[in-house]
Amino acid sequence: MRLEQKIYSFEEENTVIGIGDASPFSNIKHILEKIDTPFVEKDIEKRINPKLIREDAKSIIALGLSYNKIFVGNIDNKIRGKISIGAMGLDYHILIKEKLEYIKNSLNIQGDIFVDTGPLVDREVAKRCGIGQIGKSGNIINKKLGSIFFIGYIITNVELKPTKNTHIKDLCKDCNKCIKACPSGSILENGFNYKMCISYLTQKKQLDSEEERKLINRQIYGCDICQKVCPYNKNTYIEKVSNLDMFYPNIEKILTMSNKEFEMTYKKTACGWRGKKILQRNAIIALANGKYSKEALNILEKMKNDTREDIKHYVLWAIEKLNDKR
Ligand code: B12
């Protein structure tokens, strides 16, 4: 069997695999020069040139792993927030890395593995490797998995035949569902304003404006709105989840969890890296954004003397907000 065929044979029901060459991504240099992006390598040359990561780089093997999930249980009357489906369960960085490690070892090839935190622009890598096209929401869309998948890749010194890109004609055409659904208007006709993206706001360290806090609504981490409405995400691979706390976390539990409980519930998920305090801050904001209730107020009252000054600030603000709604 040819090496390329072997590589494709690792594809499963919830994954897609593609191959591309490792030449520089010069086509996106002008975009990167124009926009500022949070949480990434600032040296543009490193973002576009695989050979600055691995001198002998010849090819890239990209893998997309679906994280599509649906909740199938019953909801109780506790005050609950929402977690993005991508941040549920074992962290995708770990899952994809393991899969790519397995592929690399089985093929007995040399290569460097990256998932999300590498210098390259992952969506551009995925595009070149033929695993999808960029939709209006900015997400890569694939025929089989829709847009709800994470991307990882191996940069290898092996020369491989690139995957033939099977384009979806007129991908988004005149569909504007994601643009219309985004409550903050972060998806623009021609680009993306990350500063307004709810996913970004849930991760941002300081939320100064009332507008930012309102936009978070009851999201504890991440946001799925632009993908939920995308027609390409209908009838794709989906995992059923019955764990209520995982899907709609109990706000009181989040606010009273110990460091140990945080380590056990969130540290190994994709939102673990942001730390306990940011999740708790978002949970306080979620209470302020919810309806007035004695229960919500009680939870907040117990935190009025929190020793963390910033948390105390959010608690007092949330109490005021709720009292205004009485
Ligand atoms: C920083 C970052 C964020 C930031 C900023 C996002 C942004 N759009 O810049 C925030 C926190 C907001 C974010 C949110 C999300 N992210 Co994010 N993020 C990243 C990260 C680390 C870097 C992105 C980056 O380089 N941006 C710079 C721009 C230029 O690149 P890009 O976003 O990939 O955009 C491409 C196109 O959309 C287009 N484009 C973008 N802007 C513009 C502007 C113009 C003028 C033009 C012409 C084209 C264009 O060109 C780019 C190159 O192909 C990547 C991982 C990585 N290392 O690449 C993950 C990544 C993009 N994120 C991912 C995911 C899943 C998400 C969320 C869905 C998570 C969630 N549920 O909350 C949301 C989706 C929001 C959205 N609609 O884009 C996945 C995307 C998978 C996919 N199928 O597309 C990635 C690839 C992580 C991974 N390895 O799987 N993310």
Q: Which residues line ligand 1 (CB under 6 A)?
A: 28, 31-32, 35, 37-40, 84, 86, 115-116, 118, 121-124, 127, 134, 137-140, 147, 149-151, 190-192, 194, 197, 199-200, 203, 222-224, 226
User: Nearest Cα to 249, choosing from 233, 229, 271?
Assistant: 271
pLDDT at position 189 is: 86
Cβ-contact 17, 8 below 8 angstroms: yes
Residue 1 pLDDT greater than 80, yes or no: no
- For residue 167, CA distances in Å to 58, 170, 185, 248, 307 come to 24, 9, 28, 36, 55
**For residue range 240-296, what is the model confidence (pLDDT) as tens digits?**
999 999 999 999 999 999 999 999 999 999 999 999 999 999 999 999 999 999 999
Q: How many CA atoms lie within 13 A of 99 on its CB side?
A: 26
pLDDT at position 86 is: 97
**For residue range 161-195, what is the model confidence (pLDDT) as tens digits?**
999 988 899 999 999 999 999 999 999 988 999 99
**For residue range 72-91, what is the model confidence (pLDDT) as tens digits?**
999 999 999 999 999 999 99
Q: Coil, helix or strand for 141?
A: strand
Helices (H) and strands (E) in the chain, counts: 15, 12
Q: How many CA atoms lie within 13 A of 18 on its CB side?
A: 26
**For residue range 116-164, what is the model confidence (pLDDT) as tens digits?**
999 999 999 999 999 999 999 999 999 999 999 999 999 999 999 999 9
DSSP 254-288: HHH--HHHHHHHTTTSTTGGG-HHHHHHHHHHHHH
pLDDT at position 60 is: 98
What global pTM score does this model have? 0.97
Residue 19 pLDDT greater than 80, yes or no: yes
